Structure 1
């Protein structure tokens, strides 16, 4: 072939056609591959750079699968946590149901005591008291000098007084005065009666120790005609209380005598007594008394031992009796005073004086004790003890003629309730109240009065009884004697009640008072203080205060070595508290709570199963597995996620035991506390997983975008511009056609030569 000679034009056209064919082949290759660089020969720099970018994109793309798996692992764990949270909530519901179930004990541990009169509004109750002893001023007997202490046997009455009048005569001035001389003269015969101006008239009166002697003309009525309650004796009608009517008779037939008048005076002074039966009065001389009399034409007036004698009447009458020197129709007064002695008090109690002791009245009376010889009988409903007449209700009469200091003390004790009297057949049998001591007099002459427990001692009086008995106050000038009882155990003001720490609570120190300055008065205030120590208090209608455990600690025993709560304080020495009782289980409630324990344990089993099943592709972040995610081709960018063990034990939850857990609210609350802690743990882990999932998803998106960037960069280096290549192809096709035509034209000259050869 080398021997073939082509013309220059043919050769030129042929070469052009070859070049166009090469270019067209290249253009068609670019159009078919879409790349302008298909091999290192096309553009070594772009080819190898694009290859590097494609390789990195491929490497990163290979990591996306692992990242996607990691996302699913995290979502599986998150799904598990969500389910575990629901199971925890279900367990909480069971625990809360246990709290709402009847507490597992029919009786909780408690201590109790009774505070008399206590109510929920005032726990201090009705104050009870112990009897105290109060001292009077020193009292003395009648020994000369007035410094000898009286004793219990010192009499209230003194030595009777005696007054002997001057010599007196009948109305004629010569006839000796005697008890038979009438008070009025017979038909004007002076020798048969008192002097005319002295003769009492109808309606005249004498006052003797506050009693009234009335003179009446005429004859004394029969026993059937006297007023009710009065009695007739000779010419006298008496009411039995010292008031007497003297019947004078008439001038034609005088009746009353000076002896009758002296008898009337003795009835008024208490020297004589009158016993009245069916309108008849039996008059006798009182025990240890001396009747007034007339001897040697002289009137001898006698006071009783129980009162001084005071006689007030018309002066002429008293002068006629030789008792005064006063004359006229006006009144004159004659006094006969007693005298004291070593056997009597140094001062004399006035007849009619009273003591008011705690609202009860003690009356001092100048008379012999009823029921004694010649004295009236004991009134119905009353009883006699010594020289004291009592009604059994604290009111008494002390009879001065025989009474002693001991009798006064007895009457005071009856008024205060220190002693009680049982009355039968006119006698009073005394008994000292339990735990109390009778009043007494000490060797110094002080009355030692027991206040009793019914009321603080309060003594007021009339007359001079307060002063005589040394009860007119400590200074001797007061008009009352008072003394307070000793506060007893019922009054708990100022008392303290303590409990040591019970079941982890705060120790209690309660002081009872008026509710101010931290003191406790009401039940609500007490409960406020007890609440912090897991205790609660109630009180019933009888004042029984009961302090028991709260529902939270119904299974614990107050004061036990395990729970604590030992009781103390001054209240426990004043009141007797019961021994702390042990709680009594409620079988029905315990069975109900035991069933809830079983339900709770079933939930724990589901928690274990759920945690075990929360895996993806063999990785379980809730069962302690680890997840490692690589984010770049070098392995330097990665994320390590350490798993947790979130079965029941891992969450701090243990299976419950019937009869131990849910047994009371405290045990239940412990379970709730653990459940709340587990829920908090799950929320924290869910937050951590969410954070990690966000990181992984962000990195997943980043890698996808980075792959796109890398592939775009690679394409930018190798991809062909199809518009350009298409234009090139069209141009090259045209050129090729032209080249073919040119080649054809160039060959025509060769053909012309061929034709010449033919």
Structure 2
């Protein structure tokens, strides 16, 4: 029967101390290698799972930062669109005011003496408004001029120096509804294509003696205005970021949703607005359109300028709204970044090792191990003395 090995108490104590030192050395070396003092639930269940929860939330918030960043860019795209549309609105105002400052005149002297022997009815349009003057049989030229000016509502008809011919000098567009109305006043019958100044009226070609100035210029300015409206609509539809456009559609479906936390209990819904030309209440200037008529009437142009002013107010209100929303989103973006840093720092504090401390521990354990080996050697000296006697 074999007997067990018998160690002295001091030897066993020193051996246990060396084993503890070796275990601590292994732990310290692992911490130095991984940088973690808690690398599994076995090291510290509370710290490990708490740190894991903090890291998970940090990761969730980090994923939301991309969505928040996209939201910021979508709002900035909308704001940039509003800024550019405002400049186009200013150009449209300038065009309308230029049309308003363009003077319209109709001037000319009849080539034939006025003959009031027979009764006649003169049908004409003054800036698109129908006017009718009834000239009785046997009327003098003065009687005819009085009837014409009364019907027109202003003193635009007079007589030449001879006193026999009718003179038209109007600060307006004057068009005749029929050839008979022209010849009755001594003007020649017009030939060619009737003028189309946007009144929508049926007229005849102007008499060769009459000259109309300013109408064509206003018509061209109306076309320029229409081109600007087209650009406004196109620009609003191009203010898109990542498929999101906040200024081309005001429907409830056009809404930007931004989540600020992982449970979406903190969020912001930004409603899109229709800032196209139609959405701003701006309509094209077309021939025959009531209230526009190719900028023929000063009153119509002033109405257009008023609409442009309202459009500017709408854009400013929209810009203010988007600016406020952008401030909120950017503030939450900064908050989320700082919170992620706090969460990551908290998780690190629970699991990361202090490498300076661990390095010092490693040096101390190395010294302790050397001392333990020396102590174990001293504890075995008594047994070595017995060995010398046996020799």
Q: TM-score, normalised by structure 2?
A: 0.67
Displacement of 1:711 in angstroms is 2.1
Measured in 2, the distance between the counterparts of 1:657 and 1:101 equals: 18
Equivalent in the alignment of 1:597? 222
CA offsets 1:403-429 (integer angstroms, 9 cap, x no match): xxxxxxxxxxxxxxxxxxxxxxxxxxx
Of 251, 268, 280, which aligns to 1:651? 280
Measured in 2, the distance between the counterparts of 1:697 and 1:586 equals: 63
**Alignment partner of 1:686 is 2:319:** yes
Equivalent in the alignment of 2:147? none
Of 291, 295, 305, which aligns to 1:662? 295
CA offsets 1:416-460 (integer angstroms, 9 cap, x no match): xxxxxxxxxxxxxxxxxxxxxxxxxxxxxxxxxxxxxxxxxxxxx
Question: How many residues of Structure 1 are paired with residues of Structure 2 in the alignment?
Answer: 295
* 5+ long unaligned stretches in structure 1: 108-534, 541-549, 558-581
**Residue 556 and residue 55 in structure 1: after superposition, are their counterparts in 2 closer, same or farther (change >3 A)?**
farther
CA offsets 1:280-333 (integer angstroms, 9 cap, x no match): xxxxxxxxxxxxxxxxxxxxxxxxxxxxxxxxxxxxxxxxxxxxxxxxxxxxxx
Structural mapping, 1:512-531, within 5 Å: none
Equivalent in the alignment of 1:53? 54
Equivalent in the alignment of 1:159? none
Structure with greater helix share of residues: 2
Provide the alpha-carbon RMSD of the alignment.
3.1
Displacement of 1:621 in angstroms is 0.5
**Alignment partner of 1:742 is 2:341:** no
User: SS at the partner of 1:602?
Assistant: helix
**Residue 556 and residue 689 in structure 1: after superposition, are their counterparts in 2 closer, same or farther (change >3 A)?**
farther
Q: Is the 8 A contact 1:622 1:646 kept in 2?
A: yes
**Alignment partner of 1:12 is 2:13:** yes
**Alignment partner of 1:699 is 2:332:** yes
**Alignment partner of 1:720 is 2:353:** yes
Structural mapping, 1:469-480, within 5 Å: none
Displacement of 1:724 in angstroms is 3.4
Equivalent in the alignment of 2:31? 30
**Residue 587 and residue 714 in structure 1: after superposition, are their counterparts in 2 closer, same or farther (change >3 A)?**
same
Structure with greater strand share of residues: 1
Of 245, 249, 260, which aligns to 1:631? 260
Measured in 2, the distance between the counterparts of 1:604 and 1:24 equals: 79
Displacement of 1:748 in angstroms is 4.8
Give the structure with higher Rg (CA): 1
Equivalent in the alignment of 2:121? none
Measured in 2, the distance between the counterparts of 1:586 and 1:29 equals: 102
Q: Is the 8 A contact 2:106 2:174 kept in 1?
A: no
Equivalent in the alignment of 1:68? 69
User: SS at the partner of 1:106?
Assistant: strand
Q: Is the 8 A contact 1:661 1:667 kept in 2?
A: no
**Residue 753 and residue 648 in structure 1: after superposition, are their counterparts in 2 closer, same or farther (change >3 A)?**
same
Displacement of 1:751 in angstroms is 5.3
**Residue 24 and residue 746 in structure 1: after superposition, are their counterparts in 2 closer, same or farther (change >3 A)?**
same
**Residue 587 and residue 727 in structure 1: after superposition, are their counterparts in 2 closer, same or farther (change >3 A)?**
same
Equivalent in the alignment of 1:84? 85
Q: Is the 8 A contact 1:78 1:686 kept in 2?
A: yes
CA offsets 1:485-542 (integer angstroms, 9 cap, x no match): xxxxxxxxxxxxxxxxxxxxxxxxxxxxxxxxxxxxxxxxxxxxxxxxxx9889x9xx
Equivalent in the alignment of 2:180? none
**Alignment partner of 1:615 is 2:251:** no
Structure 1's consecutive aligned runs of 4 or more residues displaced over 6 angstroms after TM superposition are 535-538, 755-758
Of 223, 231, 242, which aligns to 1:606? 231
Equivalent in the alignment of 1:114? none
Structural mapping, 1:136-535, within 5 Å: none
Displacement of 1:28 in angstroms is 2.7
Equivalent in the alignment of 2:22? 21
CA offsets 1:340-370 (integer angstroms, 9 cap, x no match): xxxxxxxxxxxxxxxxxxxxxxxxxxxxxxx
Displacement of 1:726 in angstroms is 3.2
Q: Is the 8 A contact 1:71 1:697 kept in 2?
A: yes
Displacement of 1:715 in angstroms is 2.7
Measured in 2, the distance between the counterparts of 1:714 and 1:536 equals: 88
* 5+ long unaligned stretches in structure 2: 108-152, 159-169, 176-202
Q: Is the 8 A contact 1:60 1:632 kept in 2?
A: yes
Measured in 2, the distance between the counterparts of 1:37 and 1:681 equals: 59
